[in-house]
Structure 1
Amino acid sequence: MPVDSYDAIPRFAALDLLSTLVVVVDDKGAVVFANAALESAMGMSRRMLEGGEFAQHLSDPSLLRSGLGAAHGQGYAAMSFDTGLQRAVQESLFVHVTVTAIEHSELKLIELWVLEQQARQDREERLVEQAQANKELVRNLAHEIKNPLGGIRGAAQLLEMDLETKELREYTQVIIHEADRLQSLVDRLLAPHRHPHQLVDLNIHEVCERVRSLVLLEYPQGLKIRRDYDISIPEFKGDRAQLIQALLNIVQNAAQVLSEKLDNGDAEITLRTRVVRQVTIGRQRHRLALELHVIDNGPGVPDHIKERIFYPLVTGRDGGSGLGLPLAQTFVQRHHGLIECESMPGRTDFRILIPLP
């Protein structure tokens, strides 16, 4: 029995909440319902799509037609294939298509995943897993270093008391100094795990302004930090100190790699805030999220460390500790968020995502 498309809308209205492109077709492949994400991607309204054969909008219509025929004749559960999605104005999208039979109905649910989007979700998932593994490794390693380090320093101090000449005491001073330097490094590695998560209502632009003022005090000449804020972003629960430190680490890193442009007076960093909808972070779907970009016009992240910049002790600068970005990632993940980076010569973009209520 044919299904009236307008009667079907309330039944499938929840599909409008998804960012996945979704269409429901009858047993002949005619569109019964198309969700808002599909409307937006194709540049066509739901009313224009309904009643027409959906296969006509694919680069290879035969894939969907044969799949629907097999489903009707053999009662299979699901099938999938890759093809192109033709659009009204823009170029076609390469998509992964999944066709699922709806139980107790002749209708079929078709989901279309933009392959670039799928690759992005996979990358986000790897970043979350990588950061968690790094956090455990660093914490365990720091504890293993901390205990013998105290013994080395104490032994050097006792030895120094028994030495009679200044020349010999200089050697123990070197041991003590280096032990203190390593202790400072260990303290920084353990810092995220020592302080409780203190949540307060905060405005992300207060965090941005605080970081902006601190960095401009450090670099008063040659650096511009531009604001591009969406002032409609609501307040959310967060740890003010941790988010300030996370953003400060990223902005300071950006300023440090702009040394040549600082001398020329054309170093520039942009702080941009936006709200994004229907975001997936580590398999968790969020209706709204804060998107904070830190964009600089520097030389870009060196190719040989692009995939490892959030690993502890990995740095592209002489004298860098390699701790700023891993700590920033840890602090943002404590807010159920994520930091990503896209970089090329002349433009590096660190993107912070944090779910909003």
Structure 2
Amino acid sequence: MNAGVKREAYAVYSLLIDHLSTAVVQLNNRLEIEYLNPAAEMLLAVSRRRIYGNDLGAAFREDESSIQALQSAIASGNPFTKREAEIECSNTQKLFCDYTVTPIMGSSNSTETIIIEIHPRDRMKRISQEDEIIANHESSKELVRGLAHEIKNPLGGIRGAAQLISRAFTDEALNDYTQVIIEESDRLRDLVDRLLGPRQIPKNKPLNIHKVIERARQLISVETDNQIQLIRDYDPSIPDLIGDESQLIQALLNVTRNAMQALMEDDNTQHKTIQMVTRTLRQFTIGSKRHRLVCKISIIDNGPGIPDAIMKTLFYPMVSGRAEGTGLGLSIAQSVVHQHHGIIECNSYPQKTEFNLLIPIETTVQS
């Protein structure tokens, strides 16, 4: 094969590898990095052009036995797969993954190149959890719609009958009783409407997400009376997204107010903080759809955490960890974000609870 054909073949090979969604790392037989595709660059949080020629530790590290396994593969030419490995990326982030090592033999029947394919397990687990959240959210909405129909029909009859009875009474004391029936019927109707969540069609238009967050932050700041420190960590490069400003403000308020109430009721946390962080995620999957660009809004508090008993039902209507809570705030927030083709995720531990609102920035999605 002449040099021109080799260059053309390598160009085609590089093009194919670059378009894979699987992270691929190419090493030489000295375990020096020769190539990373964009998926590996994103997964390992490294710039490939800066680490070419460096040893493997510049991209990720595992234990000493993994290096020995790679050296054995070079010597024997035998591929292997390691399951449930824990590797540490260059930014010290830990990643749980499976990876496959494939030695490629050269013309001298010795290993010249090693290909490592990395399959993150936590990513697949997260996608599965998102599918479950979306399915549960749809099921709860259908249940609430059916319940609302069964409640509102007789409720209208009760209210109408109470109004008719009140007109027939001349005794003012009896009218007070019918007024109680009317007022309580209205209160129950309002509760059912809140259970149904936002019913208006979103008034979508380009908006700056930081304007939305700042509005929610100002309102929460007034409510906390400076008892909680609100920390901003924004990425100013995030482009405008398409959404309904008032609905997104309400969703952010509900999530942030949830964090605020948890902190206000916690006597053990001295320096109470809520962080409001924005970042972008590229080629990110929400449910079964992959988006080119996603806005990630994180609301992080250092409160006591969410009880394990309610974590799986956190976004269900009427589920609350607080005695005074209605259990509607997070359910409504999830509905709003879902209308924007996004999702809300939650991770909670003592001293750190993080809600992530994931909203696609582009209007078109890829399967």
Structure-2-length-normalised TM-score: 0.75
Paired-residue identity, %: 43
Give the superposition deviation at 1:24: 8.3
SS of the residue 1:280 aligns to: strand
Q: CA deviation at 1:186?
A: 1.7
Distance in 2 of aligned mates of 1:319 and 1:296: 20
> Does 2:186 match 1:183?
no
In the TM superposition, 1:4-83 aligns within 5 A as: 7-13=9-15, 15-16=17-18, 20-22=22-24, 34-38=36-40, 41=44, 82=83
Code of the aligned partner of 2:339: R
The answer to whether residue 212 in structure 2 is matched with residue 211 in structure 1 is: no
Matches within 5 A, 1:245-284: 245-260=250-265, 266-284=271-289
User: Which among 87, 96, 109 is matched to residue 98 of structure 2?
Assistant: 96
1:324/1:143 Cα in 2 relative to 1: closer, same or farther (>3 Å)?
A: same
Name the amino acid aligned to 2:151: I
Any idea what SS the aligned residue of 1:317 has? coil
Q: For residues 200 and 170 of structure 1, do their structure 2 counterparts lie closer, same or farther at Cα, with a shift above 3 Å needed?
A: same
- Answer yes or no: is the 8 Å Cα contact 1:227–1:271 preserved in 2: yes
Specify the SS of the correspondent of 2:340: coil
CA RMSD in angstroms comes to 4.1
Asked whether the 8 Å contact 1:57–1:86 carries over to 2, the reply is no
Alignment partner for residue 307 of structure 1, among 291, 306, 312? 312
1:275–1:234 CA distance, 2 compared to 1 (3 A): same
User: 1:226 aligns to what?
Assistant: 231
What is the one-letter code of the residue matched to 1:271? M
Rounded Cα–Cα distance in structure 1 between residues aligned with 2:256 and 2:55: 47
Q: Secondary structure at the match of 1:192?
A: coil
Contact 2:232–2:276, Cα closer than 8 Å, also in 1: yes
- The answer to whether the 8 Å contact 1:4/1:32 transfers is no
Q: Does 1:346 align with 2:346?
A: no
Alignment of 1:151-166 (within 5 A): 151-163=157-169, 165-166=171-172
What SS does structure 1 have at the residue aligned with 2:319? coil
- Matched with 2:155 is 149
1:93 to 1:213, Cα distance in 2 relative to 1, 3 A: closer
Cα shift at 1:175: 2.2
Amino acid aligned to 2:250: Q
Q: Distance in 2 between matches of 1:185 and 1:10?
A: 61
Cα offset for 1:212?
1.1
- 1:174 to 2:177 alignment: no
Q: 1:242·1:331 contact (CA, 8 Å) conserved in 2?
A: yes
Structure-2 separation of matches of 1:157 and 1:316: 38
- Which segment drifts farther, 180-189 or 253-262? 253-262
Amino acid at match of 2:118: L
Counterparts of 1:264 and 1:191, CA distance in 2: 33
Alpha-carbon distance change, 223 to 132 in structure 1, aligned in 2, over 3 angstroms: same
Shift of 1:140: 3.0
Is the Cα contact below 8 Å between 1:97 and 1:110 reproduced in 2?
yes
- Provide TM-score, normalisation by structure 1: 0.77
Q: How many residues align?
A: 332
- Unmatched runs of 5 consecutive residues or more in structure 1: 26-30, 51-55, 71-78, 101-108
Q: 1:338 to 1:42 in 2, by over 3 A?
A: closer
With 221-230 and 159-168 compared, the bigger mean Cα shift is at: 159-168
**Residues 221 and 118 of structure 1, relative CA distance in 2, 3 Å threshold:** same
- SS of 2:242's equivalent in the other structure is strand
Contact 2:169 2:175 in 1 (8 A): yes
Give 1:41's aligned amino acid.
Answer: L
Q: Give how far 1:232 is off.
A: 0.9
How much does 1:303 deviate?
Answer: 2.0
> Can you give the 5+ residue segments of structure 2 that lack an aligned partner in the other structure?
28-32, 57-64, 103-114, 363-367
Q: Name the amino acid aligned to 1:95.
A: C
CA gap of 1:139–1:12, structure 2 versus 1, over 3 A, is farther
2:294 aligned residue (285, 289, 294): 289
Q: Which amino acid aligns with 2:134?
A: V
User: 1:133-176: CA deviations, max 9, x gaps?
Assistant: 22232233223322211111111222233445455444433322
